[in-house]
Chain A
Amino acid sequence: MRKALVFIAKWIAIFILASILVFVIVRMMPTTPVEKWLDAYHLPRTEENIAYLTAKMGLDEPLIVQYFTWITGFFTEDWGVSLISGENIRDKFLTKMPYSFSIGFAGIILGGIAAFFLGYRAALHRNGLADRFSSVLTVFAQCVPQFIIAILLIYALGVRLKMVAFFTGDGIFALGAAIVITAIYCAGTLSRVVRSAFREQMKTSYVKFAISRGFSKEHVLRRHAYKPVLSSLISAMIARFAGVFGGSTVLEFAFAIPGLSTMLVNSLGSRDYTVLQTYILVVVVWMFVVHVILNVVLQLLNARGDHEE
């Protein structure tokens, strides 16, 4: 019980600290939202214009008041409104989230599935085709930007073959393409995780024993050795879920998908303080959730693993 209290207190302290940091950092960016707004419409930054807009956006209130309005609102599900368009930030979030989350989640899960099989083949035949392919995929993800792949994909399927309408219609193809590209980009590293986990298992005595009893090598791996491998893979995947926010910026831009990252970049462009600070704070909370889930999953997997041994 005491442990739980300490745990909660710790996270509340961290949350408050984070919220103050976020609030300050956002306001440390050069150029105020007022100046950005005037520039966007080629209006002069006269004192009258600045004073009028500052008051209109509510930025003339003392910082401490602004902070408390924001943070108390955050807890009561009133996330305030955008400085620029006056939209309800919470509604805006809920509209954009499905896009970014489906790209992130589906991409990572798909990539994880592919990585499992690729890693399995790579482990089975050291320096074989699959092994080399998974290495190449890892390096590929580091030197070929996603936007190049997106351009080529749209060019091939949309411009040349005219098979797919990426931008009009319900946007399913744009989303699907973004998911597949995300999957390809995380499959490389994840398959290396799977591969090394499998090779760890190959050294264990129970594998050797099973093979000596006459089971086929593949059979042993697939039937018995996969569980610890899966646990490594899943924890690596969950760690990646932390990046689901903001991880899809380039793809959202390249396929004109109106997700959270697009919203973030828009708000950065206009220095929309209220949207920005809320966005970052939500990511902090999300990070916390991922940590908790990761710990729980790891404990579950470990417990099960121990049990079986």
Chain B
Amino acid sequence: MKASRKLLALALVGMLAALALFVGCSSSSSSSSSTSGSQASASGSAASSAQADDSIVIGCSFIAGNLNPVDSAWDLTAHGISEGVYMQDAQGNLVSRFVSDLTRKDDLTWEAKLTNQVKFSDGTDCDAQALAGCLNYLQKNNEMTNGTAGVVTFTVVDDDTLEIVTTKPTPVMQSLLCEWCNVVFKQDGDNFIYTGPYMVKELDSDVSIALEPNPYYDDKAANRPNVLLKVFKDAATMQQAFQSGEIDIMFGLTPEVAKTLEAEGFTVKAFDAGYQYFAFANVASGPMADENVRQAVNMIINRDDMVTALNGGSVASGIFAHYYSFAGDVQEKTDVDAAASLLEAAGYTKNDKGIYEKDGQPLQVKLTTYSARADLPILMQLASSELTEAGIECSTEVVDDINTVLEGGAYDVVLYAQHTAPSGEPSAFLNMALAPGGSRNYANYENSEINDLLDQMGKTEPGADRDKLSKDIQAIVAEDLPIIYLVDPQWHVALSDRVSDYEPYCGDYYVVNAQLGL
């Protein structure tokens, strides 16, 4: 017996020794290789530097793959590294640090007065030359910038003025300059230098980005701490990292996690997502082609329950977030009885199982959504429950690639989430979703009234008239229902004590904004 105990002890010691040995070896080899593999300039692993200084650690699900503005402009702006010429503020207004005044000279020509107050993070001035240079570079190297108005040319008139010439007329130059791909940068050899509140200290792709304040951003730069964006592929892990106090800001909380963390005494904030939750109805074929069925489904869905389940947000009043001036003012109401009479008017009767049927065929509606936006399956389950109870046979499916389903046309109702005004302007989305041939008009919906309004909108410059057009279109959609409005959501962010004042806005567009850490 004694011998066996000795053996057991030996085994234990052996295990520990082997563990120590392997951990030691692997960590030393991994840190050295990460230095050689990473593209950024600084040495040492990003994670270890995070502990040395007092960085704010942000947990996120993805980071930029590289620092090139053509590939990664979107992520870089979200990280607070790059800036668009125009950006949205928390109220959805378009503001610019570069341009003080934008005037339209004729159909295709605009004149921009420059502030000339912005510096790149290396301290050089972002003058008219630099601005025109980088924007023209993007027009040439990233065709995505040509989407709205064809190729746009930027010409320096004098130190304070740029002339902007578009190929196609557009009334919304500010929004064009707010599009994600139009970021301001300067190329310095292989490096790209930006103007945002933070600059990159080290990028370890797929792992983390270490940021330090851009000393030339404004006079508060010295007060900003360093920031580390760390990738977590699993939401449960990220939650645990937050609970252990290892990360300061956690985005992408599910409603349940938000409640749990709140109950544990953490600061959890809801902020307007800008994203909208809505449903595409297949008006081309299937049960939803019948307008009465669409109306009935629209009335059966209980949006208040959805808001309750999501633990935030509000019932959608249109297709845009409520803070935009062009948001709709539709009032959605749940009325199961009215839905029943609509279905009966459409020739459906309840069979003995309590399911509506017509000509012996039960009324079946298939709901489809995707899992990348965790709120959507929740909404889908609520909707399916309500439809089932109201007597509509309902099947559900969560798919990997929702856009292929939409393009294939084999759907009845698809629950979807999108930021509908990424450039602070309504016509882009409305055209995509409602105009004939629009890239998100999957069921080839067509309504001459809407087409007219869209045409007018294309000629109207931002202001009350344009907002009115947007509201009118949204009102027609609420009647005709090619799109069913669901929820104007709020997302949750969990904050540690040191950053409890931080107010993120605009969904996942500006994860790091200039107020972080101040």
Among B13-21, B339-347, B473-481, the one that faces the other chain is B13-21
Q: Which residues of A contact B207 (CB under 8 A)?
A: 258
Q: Which residue of B lies closest to A105 (CB)?
A: B22
Is residue A151 contacting chain B, with contact meaning CB distance below 8 A? Answer: yes
Is residue B446 contacting chain A, with contact meaning CB distance below 8 A? Answer: no
Q: Is the CB of B30 within 8 A of A98?
A: yes
Q: Which of A22-74 contact B (CB under 8 A)?
A: 30-31, 35, 39, 41-46, 48-49, 52
Q: Which residue of A lies closest to B146 (CB)?
A: A48
Known pairs A48-B147, A86-B66, A167-B247; A255 contacts B237 (CB<8 A): yes
Q: Is the CB of B33 within 8 A of A95?
A: yes
Q: Which residues of B contact A158 (CB under 8 A)?
A: 240-241, 243-244, 246
Is residue B7 contacting chain A, with contact meaning CB distance below 8 A? Answer: yes
| Nearest CB of B to A183, in Å | 8
Q: Which of B185-236 contact A (CB under 8 A)?
A: 204-207, 230-234, 236
Q: Is the CB of B66 within 8 A of A117?
A: no
Q: Is the CB of A256 within 8 A of B230?
A: yes
Is residue A286 contacting chain B, with contact meaning CB distance below 8 A? Answer: no
Q: Which residues of B contact A82 (CB under 8 A)?
A: 65
| Nearest CB of B to A166, in Å | 7
Q: Which residues of A contact B422 (CB under 8 A)?
A: 42
Q: Is the CB of A30 within 8 A of B11?
A: no
Is residue B132 contacting chain A, with contact meaning CB distance below 8 A? Answer: no
Among B11, B57, B206, the residue within 8 A (CB) of A117 is: B11
Is residue B153 contacting chain A, with contact meaning CB distance below 8 A? Answer: no
Among A35, A87, A159, the residue within 8 A (CB) of B404 is: A35
Q: Is the CB of B407 within 8 A of A45?
A: yes
Q: Which residues of B contact A172 (CB under 8 A)?
A: 23, 27
Known pairs A48-B147, A85-B205; A94 contacts B47 (CB<8 A): no
Is residue A122 contacting chain B, with contact meaning CB distance below 8 A? Answer: no
Q: Which residues of B contact A254 (CB under 8 A)?
A: 234, 236-237
Q: Is the CB of A258 within 8 A of B419?
A: no
Q: Which residues of A contact B39 (CB under 8 A)?
A: 87
Q: Mark B57-85, 1 if CB is under 8 A from A, else 0.
A: 10000000110100100100000000000
**Total number of A residues with any Cβ neighbor in B under 8 Å:** 67
Q: Which residues of B contact A288 (CB under 8 A)?
A: none
A contacts with B: majority SS = helix
Among A117, A170, A218, the residue within 8 A (CB) of B48 is: A170
Q: Is the CB of B439 within 8 A of A52?
A: no
Q: Which residues of B contact A43 (CB under 8 A)?
A: 144
Bound form: Cα–Cα A254–B239 in Å? 11
Q: Is the CB of A167 within 8 A of B144?
A: no
Is residue A99 contacting chain B, with contact meaning CB distance below 8 A? Answer: yes
Q: Which residues of A contact B57 (CB under 8 A)?
A: 168
Q: Is the CB of A45 within 8 A of B19?
A: no
Q: Is the CB of B65 within 8 A of A87?
A: yes
Q: Which residue of A lies closest to B275 (CB)?
A: A42
Bound form: Cα–Cα A94–B422 in Å? 38
Is residue A290 contacting chain B, with contact meaning CB distance below 8 A? Answer: no
Known pairs A42-B422, A262-B206, A262-B233; A86 contacts B47 (CB<8 A): no
Is residue B180 contacting chain A, with contact meaning CB distance below 8 A? Answer: yes
Q: Which residues of B contact A94 (CB under 8 A)?
A: 33, 36-37
Q: Which residues of A contact B19 (CB under 8 A)?
A: 106, 110, 176, 179-180
Q: Which residues of A contact B246 (CB under 8 A)?
A: 158, 165-168
Q: Which residues of A contact B7 (CB under 8 A)?
A: 117, 120
Q: Which residue of B lies closest to A252 (CB)?
A: B233
Q: Is the CB of B233 within 8 A of A86?
A: no
Known pairs A155-B240, A158-B244; A168 contacts B18 (CB<8 A): no
Is residue B8 contacting chain A, with contact meaning CB distance below 8 A? Answer: yes
Q: Which residues of A contact B47 (CB under 8 A)?
A: 168-171
Is residue A92 contacting chain B, with contact meaning CB distance below 8 A? Answer: yes
Q: Is the CB of A175 within 8 A of B71?
A: no
Q: Which residues of A contact B66 (CB under 8 A)?
A: 85-87
Q: Is the CB of A258 within 8 A of B240?
A: no
| Nearest CB of A to B481, in Å | 22
Q: Is the CB of A154 within 8 A of B27?
A: no
| Nearest CB of B to A258, in Å | 4
Is residue B31 contacting chain A, with contact meaning CB distance below 8 A? Answer: yes
Q: Which residues of A contact B440 (CB under 8 A)?
A: 44
Q: Is the CB of B37 within 8 A of A166?
A: no
Is residue A263 contacting chain B, with contact meaning CB distance below 8 A? Answer: yes
Bound form: Cα–Cα A158–B245 in Å? 9
Q: Which residue of B lies closest to A219 (CB)?
A: B3
Q: Is the CB of A106 within 8 A of B22?
A: yes
Q: Which residues of A contact B263 (CB under 8 A)?
A: none
Bound form: Cα–Cα A95–B204 in Å? 10
Is residue B388 contacting chain A, with contact meaning CB distance below 8 A? Answer: no
Q: Is the CB of A165 within 8 A of B244?
A: yes
Is residue A202 contacting chain B, with contact meaning CB distance below 8 A? Answer: no
Is residue A266 contacting chain B, with contact meaning CB distance below 8 A? Answer: yes
| Nearest CB of B to A46, in Å | 5
| Nearest CB of A to B387, in Å | 27
Is residue B361 contacting chain A, with contact meaning CB distance below 8 A? Answer: no
Is residue B50 contacting chain A, with contact meaning CB distance below 8 A? Answer: yes
Q: Is the CB of B34 within 8 A of A95?
A: yes
Bound form: Cα–Cα A67–B419 in Å? 38
Bound form: Cα–Cα A7–B416 in Å? 55
Q: Which residues of B contact A253 (CB under 8 A)?
A: 233-234, 237
Q: Which residues of A contact B22 (CB under 8 A)?
A: 102, 105-106, 109-110, 179
Given A167-B247, A253-B233, A266-B206, 6 more A-B residue pairs with CB atoms under 8 Å apart are A30-B400, A45-B403, A94-B33, A105-B22, A159-B244, A254-B237
A-B contacts, 26 of them at CB < 8 A, read A30-B401, A42-B419, A42-B422, A44-B432, A46-B147, A85-B205, A94-B33, A94-B37, A95-B33, A98-B26, A98-B33, A106-B19, A106-B22, A147-B234, A147-B236, A158-B246, A159-B240, A165-B246, A169-B51, A170-B47, A179-B22, A253-B234, A255-B237, A256-B233, A256-B234, A265-B233
Which 4 pairs from chain A and chain B are nearest by CB?
A85-B65, A102-B26, A44-B439, A95-B37
